Amino acid sequence: MAVDLLLGLQWGDEGKGKIVDVLTKDYDIIARFQGGPNAGHTLVFDGIKHVLHTIPSGIFHKNAINLIGNGVVIDPVIFKKELEKLSKFNLDIKRKLFISRKAHLILPTHRLLDAASEANKGKAKIGSTLKGIGPTYMDKTGRNGIRVGDLEMDNWKEKYRALANKHIGLLDFYKVKIEFDLDELEIEFFSALKVLKTLTFIDSEEYLHQAQKVGKTILAEGAQGSLLDIDFGTYPFVTSSNTTAAGACTGLGVAPGKIKEVFGIFKAYTTRVGSGPFPTELFDTYGETMGRVGNEFGATTGRPRRCGWLDLVALKYAVQINGVTKLIMMKSDVLSGFKKLKVCTAYNYKGETIYHLPYNIEEENIKPIYTELNGWNEDLTKMTQASQLPKTLNDYIAFLEKELEVPIKIVSVGPDRTQTIHR
């Protein structure tokens, strides 16, 4: 039985949470494969908005099992808060949510190191969500990390103490100092761990292997986006995990040959939170309108998202790296009323026209070359059928499909679960 993947093709916040929720009815298991509480996945239904950080976006469905895979990093403190927010919805979380023993834990001192690293970078800061993601993945690859399964061992507190002490020592290296009260942080951390330990820890790769054997359907949920991938993103302005398709193999223990559909999700325009290059970024009323109408504020940090035209060069790159088989276009409704829409189809790179993402995409080197298309005026938010979509939107879709050579199978026309058009 195959595993399908859903992942973001831009700089995150494409609408992964919404679409995973929409697709969950077709799956037995929803499995997050990387990232941590830097993610904010928004779901809207029955007039309520939910934001998930660590918990997979299939959690509201009665029968789906939700799995936090080995590739994810978990902050028990944030996880506890997430559970508390969900408690009033009677979701039977203990039956439906499993956690991989091999997932790494974010310690309070990882968050301090993140803050110190960013503060000391000054203007060159990444714009991290400051959730401790970078330092935790550094400890993972440095073979120093603490995993969920360690909590079942007798000696884990010694391991914790040794690592936390090391972190405190590392903080000394930084010139700009971070204020903190370790005792307070640890009280909060240990109390949250008690809650984490009430959930079921499993050998998730084995669980998924057995599930596949008996024909269960699995959807792997990505976090962040392809341009934030540690290898293929706009380094160093990226996150610390592989957000691309290969990350699902290592983040869940799924063999490459088992992956069937790769759903690639993108906004009809582009956004980015945090620092780093963004060739099609707009600083005019078009960008301001996208931000306002699209309510472009980070679901985790509340920071305003930078907005710009769709970048097809970058999108093509993401489609290739991930082997996307089906595309999903979000937020088409936000562009209603734009007379003309621009799509970047090439770059002027140091005076030369190029059609790929170069190594160095600093703003001063690169100028987008645009193709102009007609916009649409209709309010899309009440539409439910592909046949209702305006001609100019269909032309926009056809143009993208031709350029990307992959069909756009879902068009999203609003944040709600129901505002989803299948084609």
Among 40, 108, 145, 251, binds Mg ion (CB under 5 A): 40
Contacts 24+ apart (CB under 8 A), 43-47: 43/17, 43/18, 43/417, 44/18, 44/415, 44/416, 44/417, 45/21, 45/416, 45/417, 45/418
Binding status of residue 8 toward ligand GDP by CB under 6 A = yes
The binding track of 166-205 with respect to ligand GDP, each residue x by CB under 6 A or -, is: ----------------------------------------
DSSP run (H or E) holding 153: none
Tokens of 354: 């190029």
Give whichever of 108 and 308 is closer to ligand GDP, judged by the CB atom.
Answer: 308
The binding track of 34-53 with respect to ligand GDP, each residue x by CB under 6 A or -, is: -----xxxx-x---------
The rounded distance, in Å, linking the Cα atoms of 72 and 248 is 10
Distant-in-sequence, close-in-space partners of 104: CB < 8 Å, separation ≥ 6: 73, 74, 136, 137, 139, 140, 145, 146, 147, 148
Give me the amino acid identity at 49: K
Strands 41-45 and 48-52: antiparallel
Q: Among the candidate windows 131-139, 160-168, 209-217, 328-336, which touches ligand IMO by CB under 6 A?
A: 131-139
Give the count of alpha carbons within 13 A of 397, CB side only: 22
Among 17, 108, 233, 291, binds ligand GDP (CB under 6 A): 17
Work out how close the CB of 32 gets to ligand GDP at its nearest, in angstroms, rounded to a whole number: 11
Give whichever of 72 and 344 is closer to ligand IMO, judged by the CB atom.
Answer: 72
Partner that binds at residue 9, options Mg ion, ligand GDP, ligand IMO, none, CB closer than 5 to 8 Å by kind: none
Tokens of 50: 């939910």
Q: Are 268 and 331 in contact (CB under 8 A)?
A: yes
The binding track of 326-345 with respect to ligand GDP, each residue x by CB under 6 A or -, is: ----xx-xx-----------
Q: Which residue has 């970058």 as its token pair?
A: 314
The rounded distance, in Å, linking the Cα atoms of 152 and 203 is 13
User: Which residues are designated catalytic?
Assistant: 13, 41
Strands 340-349 and 352-354: antiparallel
Binding status of residue 40 toward ligand IMO by CB under 6 A = yes
Partner that binds at residue 262, options ligand IMO, Mg ion, ligand GDP, none, CB closer than 5 to 8 Å by kind: none
Binding status of residue 12 toward ligand IMO by CB under 6 A = yes
Work out how close the CB of 1 gets to ligand GDP at its nearest, in angstroms, rounded to a whole number: 26
Dihedral sign computed on CA atoms, order 24, 28, 30, 33: negative
Give whichever of 115 and 413 is closer to ligand IMO, judged by the CB atom.
Answer: 115
**Which 215-244 positions form the footprint of ligand IMO (CB under 6 A)?**
223-225, 228, 237, 239
411: β partners: 329, 421
Binding status of residue 274 toward ligand IMO by CB under 6 A = yes
**Which 74-93 positions form the footprint of Mg ion (CB under 5 A)?**
none
Q: Which of 168, 10, 45, 24 is nearest to 416 (CA)?
A: 45
Is the peptide bond between 390 and the residue preceding it cis, with omega within 30 degrees of 0? Answer: no
Binding status of residue 276 toward Mg ion by CB under 5 A = no
Give whichever of 41 and 267 is closer to ligand IMO, judged by the CB atom.
Answer: 41
**Which 285-324 positions form the footprint of ligand GDP (CB under 6 A)?**
294-295, 299
* Residues contributing to the site for ligand IMO (CB under 6 A): 8, 11-13, 35, 38-41, 126-129, 131, 133-134, 223-225, 228, 237, 239, 273-274, 299
* Residues contributing to the site for ligand GDP (CB under 6 A): 8, 12-18, 39-42, 44, 294-295, 299, 330-331, 333-334, 412-415
